[in-house]
């Protein structure tokens, strides 16, 4: 039972009780973004390498793609705000089977900077974090109210550096907005959704969604996920499915692996990714943060309990002093009656 209650502390998909946790909170291994920030003064690096085979049935092309993706996340100013950079740099070798020729493209397929802010924390209330001591079912079985999510909003910009062969004609800067939600379905399952509108102000704006379901095993250092992504744009539309696992090596280091595929043949896509996440933890709790902390329900209680202990201690001391004075008075009275003086 104790391990079950502690599971949400180990993975970002399951760490939804607070902004900052004792272990790393990573958005990997999928592409979905958590509703929660990494925590104030926490710098987090999330990176991976990938390989993809892409074949287009109509254009009669075959593509081999190698690349790396990078995410830098920083808890800025306060617990609910996060500054993040996301970049994907890739090399694509395209073979035109009808003509026996090939082409090589190299550039950023993703290069954006933005801010994410938590506007509603479903688990901020102390009462919602307390386990039901009278019902195992209430703590471990899905209930409709568990679908109520925490919500964050994102605003940022996508950058094209020079003549990008993947986004020909796009301006240097375009804009991006997103809503991210996160729901704890049970102690072991967490649902994350993202709805994004990207490349705003270009000729080919892109609307996309991500739905990710994560599961923590009995060994809380292991988790698995399955994710569905939909993309709708005049330039490119697709539906993708990916899944994978993550393993926590230390409190600040996580490794991951995932693979996925598309549902159509224009193009047919099969890809595999491996990566890691590392946290540089400079987070410090202020006295006010400890008092106001509601994620684990202990913040205010610590000081109250300390004050109660000190009060009881003073009370015991005072009572002891009264007993000494009372005993001395009785002894002096007895000695005076017997005609002796006590030195």
pLDDT in tens, 154-164: 999 999 988 99
Contacts of 243 (CB under 8 A, 6+ apart): 224, 225, 226, 227, 258, 259, 260
Instruction: Return the structure tokens found at 281.
Output: 């933890």
Predicted TM-score (pTM) of this structure: 0.76
Residue 22 clears pLDDT 60, i.e. is over it: yes
Say if CB 120 and CB 151 are below 8 A apart: yes
Model confidence band, residue 128 (pLDDT cutoffs 50, 70, 90): low
Instruction: Return the structure tokens found at 247.
Output: 């393993």
Q: How far apart are CA 241 and CA 69, in angstroms?
A: 18
- Looking at residue 132, its pLDDT comes to 67
Residue 299 clears pLDDT 60, i.e. is over it: no
The more confidently predicted of residues 325 and 223 is 223
Average pLDDT value for residue range 104-124: 94
The total of other beta-carbon atoms located within 10 Å of residue 91's CB is: 13
Average pLDDT value for residue range 259-268: 93
Contacts of 168 (CB under 8 A, 6+ apart): none
The total of other beta-carbon atoms located within 10 Å of residue 314's CB is: 10
The more confidently predicted of residues 340 and 171 is 171
- Looking at residue 13, its pLDDT comes to 37
For the chain, give the mean pLDDT.
82
Strands 81-96 and 173-186, bridge-based pairing: unpaired
The more confidently predicted of residues 327 and 213 is 213
Secondary structure, 3-state, 232-265 = ECCCCCEEEEEEEEEEEEECCEEEEEEEEEECCC
Residue 337 clears pLDDT 70, i.e. is over it: no
pLDDT in tens, 34-81: 999 999 999 999 999 999 999 999 999 999 999 999 999 999 998 999
- Looking at residue 137, its pLDDT comes to 66
- Looking at residue 67, its pLDDT comes to 97
- Looking at residue 138, its pLDDT comes to 65
């Amino acid at each position: 039972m104790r391990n079950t209650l502690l599971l949400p502390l180990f993975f970002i998909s399951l760490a939804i009780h607070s902004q900052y946790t004792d272990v790393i909170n990573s958005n990997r291994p999928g592409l979905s973004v958590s509703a929660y920030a990494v925590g104030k003064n926490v710098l987090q690096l999330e990176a991976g390498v990938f390989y993809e085979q892409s074949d287009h049935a109509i254009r009669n092309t075959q593509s081999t793609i190698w690349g790396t993706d990078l995410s830098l996340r920083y808890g800025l100013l306060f617990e609910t705000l996060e500054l993040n950079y996301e970049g994907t740099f890739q090399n694509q070798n395209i073979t035109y089977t009808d003509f026996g020729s090939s082409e090589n493209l190299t550039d950023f397929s993703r290069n954006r900077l933005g801010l994410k802010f938590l506007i509603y924390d479903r688990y901020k209330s102390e009462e919602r974090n307390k386990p039901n001591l009278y019902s195992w079912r209430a703590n471990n079985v899905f209930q409709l109210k568990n679908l109520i999510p925490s919500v964050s909003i994102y605003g940022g910009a996508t950058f094209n550096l020079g003549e990008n062969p993947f986004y020909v004609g796009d301006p240097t800067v375009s804009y991006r907005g997103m809503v991210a939600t996160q729901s704890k379905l049970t102690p072991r399952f967490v649902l994350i959704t993202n709805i994004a509108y990207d490349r705003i102000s270009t000729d080919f704006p892109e609307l996309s969604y991500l739905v990710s379901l994560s599961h923590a095993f009995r060994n809380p250092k292991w988790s698995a996920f399955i994710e569905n992504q939909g993309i709708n744009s005049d330039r490119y539309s697709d539906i993708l499915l990916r899944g994978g696992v993550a393993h926590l090596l230390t409190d600040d280091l996580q490794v991951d692996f995932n693979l996925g595929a598309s549902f159509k043949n224009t193009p047919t896509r099969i890809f595999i990714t491996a990566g890691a996440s590392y946290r540089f933890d400079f987070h410090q709790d202020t006295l006010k943060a400890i008092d106001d902390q509601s994620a684990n329900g202990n913040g205010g209680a610590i000081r109250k309990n300390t004050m109660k202990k000190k009060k009881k201690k003073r009370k015991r001391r005072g009572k002891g002093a009264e007993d000494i004075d009372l005993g001395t008075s009785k002894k002096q009275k007895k000695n005076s009656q017997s005609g002796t003086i006590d030195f």
